[in-house]
Protein backbone atom coordinates (compact mmCIF):
# COMPACT_ATOMS: atom_id res chain seq x y z
CA UNK A 1 0.00 0.00 0.00
CA UNK A 2 1.33 3.36 -1.05
CA UNK A 3 1.02 6.50 1.09
CA UNK A 4 1.23 10.04 -0.30
CA UNK A 5 0.39 13.55 0.86
CA UNK A 6 -2.47 15.56 -0.58
CA UNK A 7 0.07 17.89 -2.21
CA UNK A 8 1.76 14.97 -3.98
CA UNK A 9 -1.65 13.73 -5.08
CA UNK A 10 -2.50 17.07 -6.69
CA UNK A 11 0.84 17.13 -8.51
CA UNK A 12 0.74 13.49 -9.68
CA UNK A 13 -2.95 12.59 -9.94
CA UNK A 14 -2.58 10.78 -13.28
CA UNK A 15 0.22 8.56 -12.02
CA UNK A 16 -1.65 7.80 -8.80
CA UNK A 17 -4.80 6.88 -10.70
CA UNK A 18 -2.74 4.64 -13.00
CA UNK A 19 -1.42 2.83 -9.91
CA UNK A 20 -4.92 2.43 -8.53
CA UNK A 21 -6.16 1.15 -11.87
CA UNK A 22 -3.46 -1.55 -11.70
CA UNK A 23 -4.84 -2.64 -8.33
CA UNK A 24 -2.74 -0.71 -5.83
CA UNK A 25 -4.31 0.97 -2.80
CA UNK A 26 -3.18 4.50 -1.96
CA UNK A 27 -3.48 6.29 1.39
CA UNK A 28 -3.81 10.08 1.20
CA UNK A 29 -2.58 12.13 4.15
CA UNK A 30 -2.86 15.78 5.11
CA UNK A 31 -0.75 17.28 7.88
CA UNK A 32 0.56 13.81 8.70
CA UNK A 33 -2.91 12.29 9.22
CA UNK A 34 -4.47 9.76 6.86
CA UNK A 35 -7.67 11.28 5.50
CA UNK A 36 -8.57 8.96 2.63
CA UNK A 37 -7.89 5.65 0.98
CA UNK A 38 -8.16 5.30 -2.79
CA UNK A 39 -8.93 1.74 -3.85
CA UNK A 40 -9.69 0.14 -7.22
CA UNK A 41 -13.37 -0.01 -8.14
CA UNK A 42 -14.97 -3.43 -8.14
CA UNK A 43 -16.55 -4.08 -11.51
CA UNK A 44 -19.10 -6.47 -10.02
CA UNK A 45 -20.32 -3.70 -7.74
CA UNK A 46 -20.75 -1.27 -10.60
CA UNK A 47 -24.35 -2.44 -10.93
CA UNK A 48 -26.78 -2.19 -8.02
CA UNK A 49 -27.51 -5.52 -6.33
CA UNK A 50 -31.05 -5.64 -7.66
CA UNK A 51 -29.80 -5.43 -11.27
CA UNK A 52 -27.17 -8.19 -10.99
CA UNK A 53 -28.18 -11.53 -12.48
CA UNK A 54 -29.21 -14.20 -10.00
CA UNK A 55 -29.24 -17.95 -10.42
CA UNK A 56 -32.63 -19.33 -11.39
CA UNK A 57 -34.34 -21.46 -8.80
CA UNK A 58 -36.00 -24.51 -10.23
CA UNK A 59 -37.50 -27.58 -8.65
CA UNK A 60 -38.03 -30.66 -10.81
CA UNK A 61 -41.61 -31.78 -11.21
CA UNK A 62 -44.87 -29.85 -11.42
CA UNK A 63 -44.54 -26.07 -11.51
CA UNK A 64 -45.82 -24.03 -8.60
CA UNK A 65 -48.29 -22.17 -10.82
CA UNK A 66 -49.77 -25.49 -12.01
CA UNK A 67 -50.20 -26.63 -8.39
CA UNK A 68 -51.97 -23.38 -7.48
CA UNK A 69 -54.33 -23.64 -10.45
CA UNK A 70 -55.13 -27.26 -9.61
CA UNK A 71 -55.84 -26.29 -6.01
CA UNK A 72 -58.18 -23.52 -7.15
CA UNK A 73 -60.10 -25.89 -9.42
CA UNK A 74 -60.60 -28.41 -6.58
CA UNK A 75 -62.12 -25.72 -4.36
CA UNK A 76 -62.51 -25.91 -0.60
Instruction: Please determine, for residue 8, whether its predicted confidence score (pLDDT) is greater than 90.
Output: yes
Look at the pTM and tell me if it is higher than 0.75. no
Tell me how many domains the chain contains: 1
Q: Quick one: which of 40, 24, 30 has its CA closest to 10?
A: 30
Q: Evaluate whether residue 64 is within a structural domain.
A: no
Average pLDDT, rounded, for the chain: 87
Q: CB neighbours (10 Å) of residue 45?
A: 9
Supply the pLDDT for residue 20. Answer: 92
Higher pLDDT, 53 or 35: 35
User: What digits encode the pLDDT tens for the residues 47-64?
Assistant: 777 887 888 777 788 788
Size of the chain in residues:
76
CA angle, corner 11, sides to 8 and 14, nearest 5? 105
Q: Evaluate whether residue 3 is within a structural domain.
A: yes
In whole angstroms, what is the distance from residue 64 CA to residue 22 CA?
A: 48
Q: Evaluate whether residue 60 is within a structural domain.
A: no
* Range of the structural domain that residue 16 is part of: 1-41
Amino acid sequence: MKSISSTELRQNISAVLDDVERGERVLISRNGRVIAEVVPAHTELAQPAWKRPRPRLSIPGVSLSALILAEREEGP
